[in-house]
Structure 1
Amino acid sequence: MKRPRIAITGPRRGAFGPRFLVARAIRYYGGVPIQLGPGDERRLPRYDGVVVTGGHDIDPVLYAAEPEVKPRYDTARDALETAVIDDALHRGLPLLGICRGAQLLNVRCGGNLFQDLRSRRKLTSHRRTILPLKTLCVDAGSHLARLLGAQHARINSLHNQAINQLGEGLVVSARDLDQITQAVEAPGRRFVMGVQWHPEFLLFLPRQRRLFKALVSAARELG
């Protein structure tokens, strides 16, 4: 049986833990993880699916906006992941965007972002944590709901930005208690999903592992 090659994007340095955990999940479900970093966009290797991991904020120039917060951008990584997302969408490859990855997916589809969520949180905490302490409210008819097998779940939160205006072809599939977008998906595609939380830190929860299982399965089906 074919073992699909799954590209895992990240920064030039650091983020070892999240990328290791994503790779572990990919291997567990029969995929072959391929780590990509800035500069690799010049000659992309063969891959059958993509995971765009979390990290620094996306440069607002990519969605024609002025900075509203103190910059923490990684333009080299923006270039890599822009190329990988565009390539995956063009070729119809399965794609999972995590946190920053979900945001950049939305931007590449023509959407934009809230640059600072602090003023928009009324019912949820500002605290960042890898523990599943926040409530996810899932749209009953979504692909995400079918994967999770529930309309509510517990998630973690490490972000200070989030999706504002949706990109073309995407729909919101989950929100938190403050109605901040927590997941998007593309109904017309085999598997394109962005989640605002970090499922790689929640691999001890079976329903969180299903996101990676679904990605690898979709990549394998492409043959």
Structure 2
Amino acid sequence: MSHRPRIAVTTSARSGWRIFPLVALNVWLAGGRARRWGAGRPADLDTVDGLIIGGGDDISPDLYGGRLVTSARLDPARDALERRLVEAAIALGKPVLGICRGAQMINVALGGTLDQDAYGTYTASDRVWTILPKKRVEIAPGTRLAEIAGTGPMRVNALHSQAVDRLGEALVVAARDRGGMVQAIERDRDPFALGVQWHPEHLLYARRQRALFAALVAAAGARRRHGAQLAAVDRMAGA
């Protein structure tokens, strides 16, 4: 058996073919081994040590009692799969990293809600739509994200229209943009869960972005050893 923690990565049916290799490379550089999951594919959490919920389609408001905006692009089968996986991963004590849509799915699966028209609500937020790091986010001090990636302002990309609204159970805000929109959330207890509103897989040249994948792999390794995940992440961040 490989010593590398096994990380499942869920992807969009539309863009997963080009996004998964990027995520898999980031996972490999962090010391893990990725496998692609999606609606219609086998998805057994007993076969992996950690989970990444990838970016892509909007999440249906049916999952949290919200209203549907006409611009939403939905994939109900993916919604159902990923909600089940996040709920099960937390119940089984397996760590989760959420990327863009994935951050939103972590929040919804843990009982939170989304703002369907985030830029309509947060009018002072910079609305950019690019894989280039042109958006500035502020990391909340005292959070695990601050330990992992540092406390200074971070330049990230942005490809989203929805954002976290009411927080799910045991989640805290780890970053916001200058308009106040939530840009990262994290779980305050084991198992490790972190969701970022941007796409770190496109920024693998940046040490702070690679650290997000390293944190997940550290937590997944701890889960494999039946150890404390947040403590393992803290050790990784302090190394």
Taking structure 2 as the reference length, the TM-score comes to: 0.88
Report what 2:230 is aligned to. none
Shift in Å, 1:104: 0.9
Q: Deviations over 1:150-183 (max 9, x none)?
A: 2311111110000001111100011000000000
Q: Is the 8 A contact 1:110 1:168 kept in 2?
A: yes
Whole-angstrom CA distance in 1 between matches of 2:66 and 2:219:
35
Number of residue pairs the alignment of both structures matches: 223
Whole-angstrom CA distance in 2 between matches of 1:43 and 1:79:
14
Q: Secondary structure at the match of 1:118?
A: helix
Shifted more, 159-168 versus 5-14: the winner is 5-14
Q: Deviations over 1:108-164 (max 9, x none)?
A: 111101101232343333230111111111111000001112231111111000000
State whether structure 2 residue 83 is matched by structure 1 residue 89. no
Q: Secondary structure at the match of 1:40?
A: coil
Q: Secondary structure at the match of 1:51?
A: strand
Whole-angstrom CA distance in 1 between matches of 2:144 and 2:44:
33
Whole-angstrom CA distance in 1 between matches of 2:44 and 2:125:
42
State whether structure 2 residue 67 is matched by structure 1 residue 49. no
Whole-angstrom CA distance in 2 between matches of 1:41 and 1:15:
15
Report what 2:11 is aligned to. 10
Counterparts of residues 57-206 of structure 1 (less than 5 Å): 57-206=58-207
Report what 2:30 is aligned to. 29
CA-based RMSD of the aligned residues comes to 1.6
The one-letter code sitting in structure 1 at the alignment partner of 2:86 is I
Q: Secondary structure at the match of 1:193?
A: strand
Shift in Å, 1:46: 0.6
Q: Percent identity?
A: 43
The one-letter code sitting in structure 2 at the alignment partner of 1:25 is N
Shifted more, 119-128 versus 207-216: the winner is 119-128
Q: Secondary structure at the match of 2:126?
A: coil
The one-letter code sitting in structure 2 at the alignment partner of 1:21 is L
Q: Mark the runs of 5 or more structure 2 residues left unpaired by the alignment.
A: 226-239
Shifted more, 45-54 versus 173-182: the winner is 45-54
Q: Is the 8 A contact 1:120 1:178 kept in 2?
A: no
Q: Is the 8 A contact 1:106 1:166 kept in 2?
A: yes
Shift in Å, 1:42: 6.5
State whether structure 2 residue 36 is matched by structure 1 residue 38. no
Taking structure 1 as the reference length, the TM-score comes to: 0.94
Residues 69 and 27 from structure 1, CA distance in 2 versus in 1: closer, same or farther, beyond 3 angstroms?
A: same
The one-letter code sitting in structure 1 at the alignment partner of 2:155 is R
The one-letter code sitting in structure 2 at the alignment partner of 1:67 is L
Shift in Å, 1:53: 0.5
Q: Is the 8 A contact 1:59 1:75 kept in 2?
A: yes
Q: Is the 8 A contact 2:104 2:164 kept in 1?
A: yes
Residues 43 and 6 from structure 1, CA distance in 2 versus in 1: closer, same or farther, beyond 3 angstroms?
A: closer
Q: Deviations over 1:67-91 (max 9, x none)?
A: 1333310011112111211121111
